[in-house]
Amino acid sequence: MRKAKAPARWWAETEMQVQFFDLDPMQIVWHGNYVKYLEVARCALLDKIGYNYEQMRESGYMWPIIEMNLRYAGPAAFGQRLLLRAEIVEWENRLRIDYLISDAASGKRLNRATTSQVAVDLSNGEMCFVSPTVLFEKLGVAAP
């Protein structure tokens, strides 16, 4: 199976500031909150291609995350500005998104992550082994 490579246009960046309620007793961002930060970046990306959760549901599909990997390189602290980047890297049989979370001021990498999502037909609950045509349309590429 060939791995499709995403053109540079399928990425989005957004910034956020670390809030007090995201900290752990060590006064750094609790590791589980990075999942929330990935969601912020993913929604910015899905908005950019015009296929966020509402549009997914309207098209007859849901896209649950089936796999998530995170690699921590450094801590984030209260008040720190973060740059969140998400990029689509696979789309033919699943939607794989790579993420980079970095310090907005210095560019220092804090976290890398990847999520994989698959389409599930809302009419019957069946997982699709090929991404539906609507995703290809949103990406502006021909379906296989």
Q: pLDDT tens digit string along 48-95?
A: 999 999 999 999 999 999 999 999 999 999 999 999 999 999 999 999
* Count of residues in the chain: 144
**pTM of the complete model:** 0.92
Residue at 2 is within a domain: no
Q: How confident is the model at residue 9 (pLDDT cuts 50, 70, 90)?
A: confident
The set of residues, in sequence order, having a beta carbon less than 8 Å from that of 69 and lying 6+ positions away, is: 113, 114, 115
CATH of the domain at 43: 3.10.129.10
Give the count of domains, the chain.
Answer: 1
Range of the domain at 95: 11-139
In the beta sheet, which residues pair with residue 112? 71, 100
How many CB atoms within 10 Å of residue 84?
24
Residue at 5 is within a domain: no
